[in-house]
Chain A
Amino acid sequence: MTSYFSPSFLAVFLPVAVLAYQAVPRRARWAVLLAASYAFFWALSGWLVVFVVASTAIVWGVGRALGAESSRRALALAEPGADRRAVRQRWQGRMRLTLAAGVVANLAILWALKYAGPLASFAASLGVSVGEPPSVGLPIGISFYTLQAVSYLVDVYRGAVVADANPARLALFLAFFPQIMEGPICRYAQTAQALWEGSPVTARGLFSGSARMLWGLAKRMVVADRLNSFVRPVFDDPAAYDGCVIAVAAVLYTLQLYCDFSGTMDLAVGMGRIFGVGLPENFRQPFFSRTAAEFWQRWHVTLGAWLKDYVFYPVSLSAPVRRLTGAARRALGGRVGPAVASGVALLAVWLANGLWHGAGTQYLLFGLYYFAVIWLGALVAPASEALCARLGVSRDGALWRGLQHARTLVVVLVGELIFRSASAAQGVELLGRAALGFRAASLADGTVLAVGMDAADFAAVAVFAALLLVVGALRERGARPLDAVWRRGPVARGALCCALLVGVVVFGAYGAGYVPVDPMYASF
């Protein structure tokens, strides 16, 4: 068993977990979920499970300490004649230290396991010897559960949630197996209680969850695995291909990443539904976005929300940035001034976003690229709106919207080309070749078809991409296809699940000639 897509997971592990969950009394269901979660973690990462146990212990202890300090602060504030401002400041200092200890401890584990090795190698390549750290491997999902751990601590510090006295509930919140590999990144208030309650498996949850999982399986096996035959050879040896093939590879990789990651999220959300737990959505039709900023509100939604709540706002509202914002407002006005000052917080967000994916220079460039695009977009927005108003151009007209969609798509394709490259230098080189060495003739002379996918593969991908577009358009209009099928009765439900299953079996890219793609976000 290596992922959610392993036959042993889908045919054995998950059904056994569901049956065991349903078979035991409600009050014991959390124990089944926790045991299944640690068994899954052990199957994928072995003894590295000690790191998730360590993070859980730290988070539980620090959370309790924050809760105790919060209670003592409340008592101090309630004392007659207390100087409330002084009391608040004194306790804020103490609680910040406690919070910092918990956050630093978690980030230190992440740093040691994920970043220390690559950075030592990078330093060595520059001729600087910092000593090779011991390599123990990377526990599955460490980047995801660490963000959940930090968000829990900050939420307790802020008083948004009450510190949990129950370490088992916290352990389940951090390690719940449907989301441990690739997210979504959940908040304690979103899932901890629902996981603990042990809601029974219902017919509706089983249908809705299974259909969602089959849809994700189709995205992954029909599209992502099939596109691997084209994307992998091109990015493994880009020097062997011309600019046109690289441009096509950038387009296909973007589609592959979307189908792989959002397909995995479909499985996660589907499994959650079976267990009666509503996991947050991570994708909301991202290719319908009109701006890069909107794209990131629709793509990997829970990472964007995490960075907004725990990086962007705290940095924006820190004392130095508040002063900068004030000065910029006085100099440039109430709209442009804050946009200029927000560059500081946006830079922090995008550096964090890029480096969260890994220590490679391509991720650094990826973050800086989106920082530049989104910050410039914010800076020119007032002038752009004024110009449109002066020229009488409707910003909600079909032409303007179409131009915005096309521009955003190009921005995203460039970003994914950088992201998939082996280094920042290679990303820049490939961008140059895709833009300057593009020969349209390669599309028609058989060059593209010689890479690894034949015409039938392209046709299968095109048909499924069209289906994704139709479903996305329906969801944009508020449709809920699974609810509609549920209302039509058992025959319609069975027909949908059978159709999805047959679609995966008939059109899935597996067997001789295909190499399934490794779950892309699992390595982050």
Chain B
Amino acid sequence: MDAILDILDELRPGAAFAGRTDLVDSRELDSLTIIALVAELEDVFDVVVPAVEIVPENFNSPEGIWALVCRLRAQDL
């Protein structure tokens, strides 16, 4: 979970992410940032994020992003 916050801080320096549940809805994460985030997630956690998973529910909060990573890792097993 801390790794998710580190990645977000690197992509959007200065923005507050902890506890947020509106990252997509408030446009804090736009589509370009989401693609950069997906590239980091795939690199760091060795998962493949399909296009169908790029929905606001998965990216609105750091917890949602972490849950997505955990789910994708479990699917690969």
CA–CA, A160 and B40, complex, Å? 25
Q: Is the CB of B52 within 8 A of A335?
A: no
Stretch at the interface among A245-253, A308-316, A355-363, A439-447: A308-316
- Identify which of B11, B14, B50 contacts A335 (C-beta below 8 A): B11
The answer on a CB contact under 8 Å between B39 and A338 is yes
Known contacts: A313-B54, A329-B43, A334-B11. The answer to whether A339 contacts B27 by CB under 8 A is no
B32 CB–A CB distance under 8 Å: yes
Contact in complex: A325, B39 (CB < 8 Å)? yes
Chain B residues with CB under 8 A of A308: 31
B39 partner, pick from A158, A309, A329, beta carbons under 8 A: A329
Q: Which residue of A lies closest to B54 (CB)?
A: A313
B11 nearest CB neighbor, chain A only: A335
Contact across chains for A294 and B50 when beta carbons are under 8 A apart: no
CB distance from B55 to the nearest CB of A (A): 8
Cα–Cα, bound, A297→B39 (Å): 23
Residues of chain B within 8 A of A378, CB atoms compared? 32
Identify whether the interface residues of A are mostly helix, strand, loop, or mixed.
helix
Q: Is A342 an interface residue (CB 8 A)?
A: yes
- Whether B35 contacts A342 by the Cβ 8 Å rule is yes
Given contacts A313-B51, A313-B54, A329-B43, contact A335 B36 (CB under 8 A): yes
The docked-state distance in angstroms from the alpha carbon of A326 to that of B51 is: 17
Q: Is B46 an interface residue (CB 8 A)?
A: no
A316 touches B35 (CB 8 A): yes
Contact A334 B51 (CB under 8 A): no
* Total chain B interface residues with beta-carbon distance under 8 A: 20
Contact status B39-A334, CB under 8 Å: yes
Q: Does B13 belong to the interface (CB within 8 Å)?
A: yes
In the complex, A308→B38 CA distance in Å? 15
- B32 partner residues in chain A, CB cutoff 8 A: 293, 338-339, 342, 378
B52 touches A294 (CB 8 A): no
User: Which of chain B's residues have a CB closer than 8 A to the CB of A160?
Assistant: 52
Contact B31 A313 (CB under 8 A): yes
A313 contacts which chain B residues (CB < 8 A)?
31, 35, 51, 54
A312 and B31 contacting across the interface, CB-CB below 8 Å = yes
The minimal Cβ–Cβ distance linking A126 to chain B, given in whole angstroms, is: 36
Establish whether residues B38 and A317, one from each chain, have CB atoms under 8 Å apart when the complex forms.
yes
Partner of A334, one of B27, B30, B31, B36: B36
What 0/1 pattern do residues 16 to 45 of B give for CB contact below 8 A with A? 000000000001001110011011101100
Instruction: Assess whether B51 is in contact with A338, with CB atoms less than 8 Å apart.
Output: no
User: In angstroms, how far is the closest chain A Cβ from the Cβ of B35?
Assistant: 5
- Complex-state Cα separation, A345 to B34, whole angstroms: 13
Chain A, 361-388, CB within 8 A of any chain B CB? 378, 385
> Does residue A167 face the partner (Cβ distance < 8 Å to B)?
no
B3 at the interface (CB under 8 A from A): no
CA distance A329 to B27 in the complex (A): 23
For A308, A326, A335, A337, which residue has the most chain B Cβ atoms within 10 angstroms?
A: A335
Contact with B along A137-159 (1 / 0, CB 8 A): 00000000000000000000011
Out of A293, A314, A385, which one reaches B51, CB within 8 Å?
A314
Contact between B50 and A317 (Cβ–Cβ < 8 Å)? yes
Q: How far is the CB of B51 from chain A (nearest CB, A)?
A: 4
CA distance in complex: A378, B33 (Å): 9
Find residues 289-331 in chain A having any chain B CB closer than 8 Å to their own CB.
Answer: 293-294, 297, 308-309, 312-314, 316-317, 322, 325-326, 329
With contacts A334-B40, A385-B13 taken as known, whether A158 is within 8 angstroms of B52 at the C-beta atoms is yes
Residues of B within 8 A of A314 (CB): 51
Q: Mark A263-279, 1 if CB is under 8 A from B, else 0.
A: 00000000000000000
Q: Which one of A158, A159, A338 lies within 8 Å of B35 (CB-CB)?
A: A338
Measured in the bound complex, the distance between the Cα atoms of B10 and A313 in whole Å is: 22
**Once bound together, how far apart are the Cα atoms of A313 and B51, in whole Å?**
6
**A294 close to B27 (CB less than 8 A):** yes
B70 at the A/B interface (Cβ < 8 Å)?
no
Residues of B within 8 A of A342 (CB): 32, 35
B10 touches A326 (CB 8 A): no
B51 cross-chain contacts in A, Cβ below 8 A: 158, 309, 313-314, 317
A100 to chain B, nearest CB (A): 15
Chain A residues, Cβ within 8 Å of B43: 326, 329
- Besides A317-B50, A385-B13, 9 other A-B contacts (C-beta < 8 A): A294-B27, A308-B31, A313-B54, A329-B39, A334-B10, A334-B39, A337-B36, A342-B32, A342-B35
- Residue pairs across A and B with Cβ atoms less than 8 A apart, 16 shown, are A160-B52, A293-B32, A294-B27, A297-B27, A314-B51, A316-B35, A317-B38, A322-B42, A325-B39, A334-B11, A334-B36, A334-B39, A334-B40, A342-B35, A345-B35, A385-B13
**B contacts, CB < 8 Å to A:** 10-11, 13-14, 27, 30-32, 35-36, 38-40, 42-43, 49-52, 54
